[in-house]
Amino acid sequence: MRHARSETLALPGVRLHIRRWGDPQAPTLFLLHGWMDVSASFQFVVDQLQRDWNIVAPDWRGFGQSEWLNRPYFFAEHLGDMEAILDRYAPDQPARLVGHSMGGILSCLYAGLRPERVARLISLEGFGIAPTTPEMAPERYRQWLGTLQKPPRMHVYADRDAFARRLMQNDRFLTAERAAFLAKHLARIGDGETRGGERRHGIIWNGDPWHKATSPYLFRLEESKAIWRQVACPVLWVAGRQSWVVRDYATRPGDWEARRACFANVDETWIEDADHMLHHDQPEAVAQIIERFFR
């Protein structure tokens, strides 16, 4: 297992934890994790990379070892953090980005907002969330008001073994060994809730519970599409053949194709025997795709 180093990036109002692997003089590669994940979960992919890389992998604000704000988070804040991270670690050259899920969504948006800052981009299952309609707004605001009255809490598990078993229950391709590793980084000791709502001390997810709060603002797919049309760099979509995300797209015929058509230079590839967490399920295949695309 390759050794990781930790650094802190102090930004106005938040401190970000940055995980580093590899030779600082090697080509820089950014690995950007998804929602309710942490940078450490890229360890499996890092161990399979054959080239020397200077790998920069942040914990997004409110996740892992980055500072938790204990209040609602807004998606655009992560875009600001991404720009600060690139300013620090790739100030003089366009960046190579690999983002999973939320990290992929952020990468695609950033590449459209700052096309000169991104050289090439891989999105691992980060193709934008489901579309919304204006009629959904009243209930969304009601949910928001309810969350302010009763802030979210994490589910509590008896121990890390129980947490690991839950990870494997949600992902049939995850091995016991990898689940045990993830349980050390994705979980922490704290106060959570049982399924019956009882508060208890135990093992909980390593993320600020406020990330579970539903935004009062509807996701506007049309805005994302307008930004994607500004992306100038080559983009690679990577999807798991057994992913629940792909199954969700299948319920909306033409949606996948319409999103992909927004990118001027895009290709796609598929990984067999993989669900949404590609980097957990098939890290060797992900590593091969990364090095092939960035060579």
Kindly calculate the radius of gyration of the chain based on its CA atoms and give it in whole angstroms. Answer: 19
Backbone angles phi, psi at 17, to 5 degrees: -90, 130
Q: For the segment 239-267, what is each residue's pLDDT rounded down to a tens digit?
A: 999 999 999 999 999 999 999 999 999 99
For residues 149-165, give the mean pLDDT. Answer: 94
Question: Given this model, what pLDDT does residue 193 score?
Answer: 75
DSSP string, 190-239: EEEE-TTS-EEEEEEESB-GGGGSPPSSPP-HHHHHHHHTT--S-EEEEE
Question: Given this model, what pLDDT does residue 192 score?
Answer: 80
Question: Given this model, what pLDDT does residue 187 score?
Answer: 96
> Kindly report the CA angle at 103 between 108 and 216, in degrees rounded to 5?
90
For residues 20-27, give the mean pLDDT. Answer: 97
Instruction: Inform me whether the pLDDT recorded for 26 exceeds 80.
Output: yes
pTM for this model (two decimals): 0.96
Distance CA 79, CA 44 (A): 26
For residues 87-98, give the mean pLDDT. Answer: 97
Distance CA 35, CA 192 (A): 19
Structure tokens, 221: 């797919």
Percent of the chain at pLDDT exceeding 70: 98
Q: What's the longest Cα–Cα distance across the chain?
A: 53
Q: For the segment 118-154, what is each residue's pLDDT rounded down to a tens digit?
A: 999 999 999 998 999 999 999 999 999 999 999 999 9
Distances (CA, A) of 115 to 31, 102, 125: 18, 19, 21
Question: pLDDT confidence of 196, banded at 50, 70, 90?
Answer: low
Match 């809730």 to its residue by tokens: 193
Question: pLDDT confidence of 200, banded at 50, 70, 90?
Answer: confident
Question: Given this model, what pLDDT does residue 232 score?
Answer: 98
- What are the sequence ranges of the domains in the chain? 5-131+219-294, 136-212
Instruction: Inform me whether the pLDDT recorded for 295 exceeds 70.
Output: yes
| CA 220 to chain CA mean position, Å | 19
Out of 19-23, 106-110, 155-159, pick the least confident.
155-159
Task: Describe the chain by its helix, strand, coil percentages, rounded to 5.
Answer: 40, 25, 35
**Which CATH code fits 5-131+219-294?**
3.40.50.1820
Q: For the segment 35-74, what is each residue's pLDDT rounded down to a tens digit?
A: 999 999 999 999 999 999 999 999 999 999 999 999 999 9
